[in-house]
Structure 1
Amino acid sequence: MVVLLLLVLFLFIIVSVFVYINHTKSITVNNLPPGSFGWPFIGETLAYLRSRKNGTPENFERERTAKYGSPPVIKTSLLGHRTAIFCGPEGNKFLFGNENKLVASWWPDTIRKLFGKCLNTSRGDEAKWLRKTMLTYLGPDALSNRYTATMDIVTRRHIQNQWQGRRELKVFNTVRPYLFELACILFLSLDDLQQITELGSLFNVFLKGLIGLPISIPGTRFYRAKKAAVAIKKQLIMIIKQRRLALKQDVASSSDEDLLSHLLVSSDENGRFLSEMEIANNILLVLFAGHDTSAVTITLIMKNLAEHPQVYEFVLKEQLGILGAKAPGELLNWEDIQKMRYTWNVVCEVMRINPPVVGAFREALVDFEFAGYTILKGWKITWNAVVTHKDEANFPNATKFDPSRFEGAGPTPFTFVPFGGGPRMCLGKELARVQILVFIHNIVTTFKWDLLIPDEKIEYDPLATPVKGLPIRLHPHQV
C-alpha cells in the first residue's frame, strides 16, 4: 500500500513539473508583477499555509511586498495556480468593481470539488439568479419578518442548557453546535437533534479540507473532507426528497416556508428548476456560511470583551437599556437589533483585527493591466483582508482595539472588507449581524467571564480560531 501511494505521488510530481515547465515557457510578457512562482506545482503554497497556521496570514504578503518594494500587486503560485495578490484598498476596489468584466469568482480545487455546483462556484446570469433567489430568505426583509424572534428563542434555550450552571467552558466548542442547530432550523426547519448532531460532526471534518492541496489519498484532510461532503449531501438529499413530497401533497406546514422550500419551488427565467444535487450543494454552502464564520466571530468577540473590561461595560450598558425597555420574557425584534449600534461597532473592530475569513479568489477573464502590470487571462487573483485591516495607512494605531473607528462615517471605503464587496459581497452578511447581536445581547446580560488562557494563539485553519477553543470562567450576574 505504501509503495503504491509513493508511486502515485511520484507520478503526480512528474506530471506537475512537466505542466509547470511548459506553462513557464508560454509566459513571455515582460511587465508581469514582481514576485516568484516558487517550486513546481507547489509554488509558495507551503509558506502561504504556514502563515495561516501561525495566525499571521498577513505576513505572507507583507514579506513579499517588502522584498519587491511594496508594489500594489505581486505574483506567486498558490495551490497549483499562477496567482496575483492584489494589495490594499486600491486592489480591493479594482476587483470588486470589475466582477464579471475583467475578473470572475473562482475558488481553489478543494472548495469547488467539495461544494460542487452552487452559488459560490457559479458565474454570470446563473450566479445572479441564485443570489437573488437566496437573498429572499437571507436579506434584511427575511430577517426582520421571519428570523429574529426565532434566533432569540434558540439562543435563550442554548444558554439555559449549555451555559447556566457551568463554571468553565470552551466558547468555540460550545457555540459552534448551537449555531449549526440554528442554521438547520432557519434554513431546513430541521428539529431532529440527533440528525443535526450527526451533520455537525461531518461538518467539522468537511471544514478542515477546504484549504490545501487537493490530494485525495487516504489519510489526507482532503480525502476525509470528500467523504464527509458525500455523507452530508446524502442526508440533505433525503431531506429534500421528503420536503418535495410534502409540497407535492400540499402537507408542508407553515414552518416549512424556509430556504429549502423556496429553492424547490423557484425557477429561473427559462423555467429551469434546480436539481436535488444543486439544492443540496447550495444548502451545504449556507449551512457552512451560516454557522462557522459566526461561531468564530462570537468566540473572538468574547475574547476581546474579556481583554477590554471597559468595552464590556459599555456593551452591557447598551444591552441592559434594550432589555429594560421590554416586558419580561419579550423576544428581541428587528427594531431592537437596530439599537445595538455600539455593540456592532465592537463586532466590527473584532472583525478588523481578526477577520474570520482571510480573503477570496478571482480569475482573470482576459489579459488586463493593473497599476502598470499585466495580469494574464486564466491567472487566479486573491486579496487579503487581514493585511488591509492591519495597515497603519488605513487604520492608525492598527494594533489597538478601538471600536470608535466605526463611529460616524466609519473607515474609508475598501479598507474594511470582512464581507468582501461588490456583486460578490457575502450573501449572509445581514444574517451574521443578527445572529451575533442576538447572542451578545443574551450572553452579556447573563454573564461576565475571564479568560483561562490569556493571549491564546489564533490560527487560520481555515477560519480564525483560538487553538484551545477559548476556555473561560463564567461569573453569572447577581439578579
Structure 2
Amino acid sequence: MTLRLYINHFWLLNKHHRSSSGCKAPSRTRSPMDSSFLLALVAVALPVLLHLLRRAKKPRGKLPPGSLGLPVIGQSLGLLRSMRANTAERWIQDRVDRYGAVSKLSLFGGPTVLLAGPAANKFVFFNSALASQQPRSVQRILGDKSILELMGADHRRIRGALAEFLKPDMLRLYVGKIDGEVRRHLGECWAGRRTVTVMPLMKRLTFDIISLLLFGLGRSPLQDALANDLARVMEGIWAIPVDLPFTAFRRSLKASARARRLIAGITRETRDKLERGEASRSSDLIACLLSLTDDTGAPLLSEDEIVDNSIVALVAGHDTSSILMTFMVRHLAGDPDTLSAMVREHEEIAKSKGDGEALTWDDLAEMKFTWRVALETLRLVPPIFGSFRRATQDLEFDGYLIPKGWQVFWAASLTHRDAAIFHEPAEFNPSRFENQSSAGAPPCSFLAFGAGPRICVGMEFAKIETLLCCKEDTFARDPMPSPLHGLPIQLEQKASPCP
C-alpha cells in the first residue's frame, strides 16, 4: 500500500509537470531528472515495502514452543490414532512433558495452541475473544444457527431459550415421564435375560427419553425413522467433510436433511396444537421454544433456529448420557463394594414408594452416592475428550502469543488425571465428590460439563437421566469413548430384601 502511494504521488507530480509545460501527449523519453526521481522513489519505497511484508509475516510476539509439523496434516493423524488406541491421554501428556503447559501444533488443518492446567482452562472458558470452534463437518451437519456456532447476543438468546426448558421447575414435570420410559425399557430389554450388551441398549433408552421430551414422540415408525437418521448423523459428524457419494459425510448430510424436515414438520404441528389449546408450554421442547416471545411479542426464535437447536439437543442429550451410563455399568460390574453401596441407597428410597409408584424430583435428591459415582466416572472417562476455540484477535497467555485465527485446544484429561489436583488420579474413588461437585479441586479443573458462559446448559437434565460379567477394561474413542464389543455383561437376579 505504501509503494502504491509513492507511485501515485510520482504520477501526479509528472502530470502536473506535463500540464504546466503545455504537453498534449505523454513523451516517450524520460528526462534525467525523471529517472533520478524514480530511482530515489524506489530506494525509499522498497525498504518500506520489505519492512511491511516482514511485519505482516512475523508474529508480534513470542510463539509457544513446538512444531506445526507437515502442511495440512500436522499432528492430526497421531492424535486420531491415539484416540482409537485409547492412548490419547498419554499422547497429550507427552506433549506437555516435552514443551510445557503451552505449546503449538497443527490439528485438522489449522495452527493450534495446546493449553494445560486450571489457569489455562479458565483462560479458555472465560475469554470473550475466544470463539467456539467446531469442525466444519459439525457445522454443516448440525446447522449454523445452533448454540454451538453462535456468539454474543445471539448465543445468549438461544441459551436463554433452552434454559427455559431445562430449568428445575420444568424438569420436575419430566421426572415421571423419564421414570416410565426407564421402567418400560427394563421390562422389555433387560428382565428375564441372562446376558445383555449395554451400549446399544443405553443408546436406545436415552434416545427414547430425549425424543419424548423434545418432540413428544413415543414408540412409533416416526420415532424409529428419527433414530435411524440420528445414527447416520453421528457417523459423519467427525468424518472428513468431503461431500462425495458413498462417503460417511454424504450419508450424514442426507440423514441430517431428513431429520431436519421431520422436526420442521413437528414444529408446525406443535404450533397448530398450541393455537388450538391442545398443547402447553411444558409439553415438550418444541412447544416451549414456540411459546417464547421477545419484548415486542414476536417469536423469540425462528423456525430454522428451533430446528437446528433441537438437533443439537437430540445429539447432546442422547449420546453423552448413554456413554456415561454405559461406563458406570462397566465399572460397577467389577466393583462389588461400590455396587452394593448404590443398591443400598436405592433400596432406602424404594421403601418409601408404593408398588409401581414413580420416582419424584425429591427422590433424585436422595441419590447422592449414585451421583458421586457418576461424577467419578466422568472424571476418568469424560465423554468429551476436549474441544477447540478460535482466537478472534491476537491474545497472550503465560508470556506466549496466540495469533488471531489460530485454534486453541484444551483436553479434560490434563486436569482430571493430574496427581497434583486429584490424589491417586487413576483410582476410582467416588468419595472425592462428597463435599462439592468439583471434588475440592481448583476452579476449572473438573470439566465434565465445561465451564464459563458455555457450560453445558443440560447439566441438570443429564443428572436426571443418569440417576434414573464383562471384565475386559478396554475402550476406544471414535471420537467419543466406546467400550469393546458394546460391553456385554451377565445379569443376576437380585433376591428381594427381607421384610
Q: TM-score, normalised on structure 2?
A: 0.84
Letter of the 2:476 counterpart = E
Aligned-residue offset at 1:477: 1.3
1:66 aligns with 2:97: yes
Alignment match of 2:110 (pick from 64, 72, 81): 81
Which residue is equivalent to 2:490? 473
Q: 1:166 to 1:348 in 2, by over 3 A?
A: same
Aligned-partner Cα distance in 1 for 2:425–2:250: 39
C-alpha contact 1:359 1:420 (8 A) present in aligned 2: no
Aligned-partner Cα distance in 2 for 1:423–1:28: 30
Which residue is equivalent to 1:418? 448
SS of the residue 2:237 aligns to: coil
| RMSD, aligned α-carbons | 2.0
Equivalent pairs counted in the alignment come to 439
Alignment match of 2:73 (pick from 24, 36, 42): 42
Identity of aligned residues (%): 34
Q: TM-score, normalised on structure 1?
A: 0.87
- CA deviation digits over 1:386-437, x for unaligned, max 9? 2221121221211111111111242312211110001100111110001100
Alignment match of 1:244 (pick from 256, 265, 271): 271
1:253 aligns with 2:283: no
Any gaps of 5 or more consecutive residues in structure 1? 1-21, 439-449
SS of the residue 2:387 aligns to: strand
Q: 1:361 to 1:396 in 2, by over 3 A?
A: same
1:132 aligns with 2:131: no
What is the correspondence of 1:133-172 to structure 2 with a 5 Å cutoff? 133-144=161-172, 146-172=173-199
SS of the residue 1:361 aligns to: strand
State which drifts further: 374-383 or 454-463.
Answer: 454-463
SS of the residue 1:307 aligns to: coil
- CA deviation digits over 1:209-258, x for unaligned, max 9? 2224322223332222212211211211121122223333x143359722
SS of the residue 2:196 aligns to: strand
Aligned-partner Cα distance in 1 for 2:451–2:317: 18
Greater than 6 Å deviation, 4+ residue runs: 22-25
Alignment match of 2:293 (pick from 262, 267, 292): 267
C-alpha contact 1:110 1:211 (8 A) present in aligned 2: yes
C-alpha contact 1:210 1:462 (8 A) present in aligned 2: no
State which drifts further: 47-56 or 425-434.
Answer: 47-56
Which residue is equivalent to 1:122? 150
1:112 aligns with 2:104: no
Any gaps of 5 or more consecutive residues in structure 2? 1-52
C-alpha contact 1:135 1:427 (8 A) present in aligned 2: yes
Which residue is equivalent to 2:63? 32
C-alpha contact 1:315 1:343 (8 A) present in aligned 2: yes
Q: 1:256 to 1:269 in 2, by over 3 A?
A: closer
Alignment match of 2:129 (pick from 102, 106, 109): 102
C-alpha contact 1:86 1:383 (8 A) present in aligned 2: yes
State which drifts further: 124-133 or 212-221.
Answer: 212-221
Aligned-partner Cα distance in 1 for 2:58–2:190: 58
Which residue is equivalent to 1:4? none
Aligned-residue offset at 1:272: 5.3
Q: 1:222 to 1:27 in 2, by over 3 A?
A: farther
Aligned-partner Cα distance in 1 for 2:413–2:248: 25
1:223 aligns with 2:240: no
C-alpha contact 2:291 2:299 (8 A) present in aligned 1: no
Aligned-partner Cα distance in 1 for 2:326–2:96: 31
- CA deviation digits over 1:261-300, x for unaligned, max 9? 1222323456454332221111101011111100000000
C-alpha contact 1:72 1:371 (8 A) present in aligned 2: no
SS of the residue 1:362 aligns to: strand
- CA deviation digits over 1:301-344, x for unaligned, max 9? 00011111101001111111111122222211111111111111
C-alpha contact 1:303 1:470 (8 A) present in aligned 2: yes
Aligned-partner Cα distance in 2 for 1:274–1:94: 31
State which drifts further: 179-188 or 44-53.
Answer: 44-53
C-alpha contact 1:106 1:363 (8 A) present in aligned 2: yes
